[in-house]
């Protein structure tokens, strides 16, 4: 094994990955910036050990998160469409290059593959951005469900305390 060659390849892959990561992050940020800010706000409120979320704050979470998810979901689906189109374009370019390339089937395939590298990278970008957004949507949905459970628990506790007070009044 040649360690210098390996190091060079790893450094080259790291550089390429960083570039793609920047593009994916920009797409995700453009799509999820408002959702990210709101989730950060909720996290900050919940991380204060001395602070319990008020009913009004819980109501705000329950109303705001679905609204933000609506807009994120629209953008996420647009990414899905872009990915589908990038796959179609890739296949069209590959087929054209394959048919026009001289030589054996292996040589034709190698030449066609070399012509679709950028299409493959575009597809990777769309898939990674889509998956990152999906993870954020799933996490925000979990926050929403948790807020709903807290509200339900508070309602149950209130109803239980109301019944207890009514029973105590009836005894006296």
Specify if 167 maps to a domain: no
In a domain, 11, yes or no: no
Number of domains the chain is built from: 1
pLDDT in tens, 8-22: 899 889 988 999 999
User: Over the stretch 55-101, which tens digit does the pLDDT of each residue have?
Assistant: 999 999 999 999 999 999 999 999 999 999 999 999 999 999 999 99
Establish if 123 belongs to a structural domain. yes
In this structure, how many other beta carbons lie within 10 angstroms of the beta carbon of residue 18? Answer: 9
Residue 109, C-beta contacts closer than 8 angstroms, at least 6 positions apart: 98
Does residue 17 lie in a domain region? no
Residue 161 lies in a domain: no
The pTM of the full predicted model, rounded to 2 decimals, is 0.82
Q: How confident is the model at residue 166 (pLDDT cuts 50, 70, 90)?
A: low
Interval 103-148: pLDDT, tens: 999 999 999 999 999 999 999 999 999 999 999 999 999 999 999 9
Phi first, then psi: what are they for 52, rounded to 5°? -105, 135
DSSP state at residue 128:
H
Tell me, yes or no, whether 93 lies in a domain: yes
Assigned domain for 121 exists: yes
């Amino acid at each position: 094994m040649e360690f210098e060659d390996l190091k060079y390849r790893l450094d080259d892959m790291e550089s390429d990955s960083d570039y793609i990561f920047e593009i994916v992050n920009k797409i995700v940020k453009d799509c999820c910036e408002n959702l990210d800010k709101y989730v950060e706000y909720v996290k900050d409120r919940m991380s204060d050990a001395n602070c319990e979320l008020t009913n009004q704050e819980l109501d705000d979470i329950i109303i705001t998160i679905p609204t933000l998810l609506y807009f994120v979901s629209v953008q996420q689906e647009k990414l899905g469409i872009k990915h589908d189109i990038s796959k179609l374009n890739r296949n069209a370019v590959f087929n054209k290059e394959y048919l026009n390339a001289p030589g054996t089937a292996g040589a034709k395939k190698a030449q066609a593959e070399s012509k679709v590298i950028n299409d493959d990278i575009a597809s990777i970008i769309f898939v990674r951005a889509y998956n990152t957004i999906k993870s954020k949507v799933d996490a925000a949905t979990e926050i929403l469900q948790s807020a709903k459970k807290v509200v339900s628990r508070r309602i149950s506790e209130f109803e239980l305390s109301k019944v207890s007070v009514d029973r105590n009044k009836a005894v006296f």
